[in-house]
Amino acid sequence: MKDIYKKLMKQHGGSIPFTVLGGVKQKKKTVRKPKKKRRRRAKTTRIGHIVNSNKYSPGTLIRRKGTLWTLTKSKKWIPIKDS
């Protein structure tokens, strides 16, 4: 046996760890950053994505979920406020 190994055996009490021999190297632990929490948008009452405005002529009235909506000349749905 080589002198280097004899010295290492005495130093470590009879068995040489692999890390000393260079057989296994420890990996660096990476710290993951926490994911950013996304803020949810407040729900608004929109009718544009539910009813296609191309099928209706301007001035059309529609009741949706208890509110009246009217279609403007620019093809946008606007809620009619009760007085």
Question: Is the model's pTM score more than 0.75?
Answer: no
- The four Cα atoms 56, 59, 62, 63 give a dihedral, to 10 degrees, of 170
| Contacts with 76 (C-beta within 8 Å, 6 or more apart), sequence order | 48, 53
| Contacts with 59 (C-beta within 8 Å, 6 or more apart), sequence order | 70, 71
pLDDT digits (tens, 9 = 90+) for 7-51: 888 888 888 777 777 766 677 888 888 888 888 877 666 655 567
